[in-house]
Amino acid sequence: MKFDRADFQRLVELHHRRLYNVALRLTSDPDTAAELTQDTFLRAFRGWDKFRKESQSYTWMYRIMVNLNKDRLAKLMRVRSREQPLGVDDSEDPAGLLPDPKQDVQRQMEVSELQKLVQSAIQGLPEGYRECIVLRDVEGLSYQEIADTIGVSLEAVRSRLARARHHLREALSPLVNDSSRQGG
């Protein structure tokens, strides 16, 4: 059976939202995430004959996205030459988690600030750690699926997740200590 545009359109419809959400978490920018998602589908369509079907189409497309994002980051680093750190755009909600509008204004501000701090901490992780955290804790992939997706061993996934969580605990521990002192 030959793969055609209609078949590929069904794959786009099936995976678009999930891949876009991952791209948004990797980039923290809706426009960049949309562009990365589009580039991923374009690369997947052009390379469909290379897809060995040993993995799921989502896993294969996610791997394409990871590679495109690594290329994008390398290009950014060359252009910026570290003059401006990559960070969270305060004008957007990069985590896609707006507070409940029924909460009081003070609580909304606290939740919003906490979300920004957590997203910033995630963005501050080295790329390999950030990928593993997003795939495991946001996308819910198994350790083996993560290993297959990013092309590393199962042990490397375990190690990266442990180190990423350690970095996040360190980055966020002042918040936990401060709130426990304030809250009681």
- Domains in the chain: boundaries: 1-86
- 70, 88, 131, 167 from 118: Cα distances, Å: 22, 10, 15, 12
1-86 has which fold? Rna Polymerase Sigma Factor; Chain: A (1.10.1740)
Model's pTM, two decimal places? 0.53
User: What span, in angstroms and rounded, lies between the C-alpha atoms of 111 and 114?
Assistant: 5
| pLDDT reported for residue 103 | 45
Per-residue model confidence as pLDDT tens for the chain (184 residues): 456 678 788 888 989 999 998 888 888 888 999 999 999 999 988 888 777 665 688 888 888 888 888 888 777 777 655 444 444 444 444 444 444 444 455 555 665 677 777 778 888 889 889 889 888 887 788 898 889 888 899 999 999 999 999 998 888 887 655 554 555 4
Predicted local confidence at residue 45, as pLDDT: 87
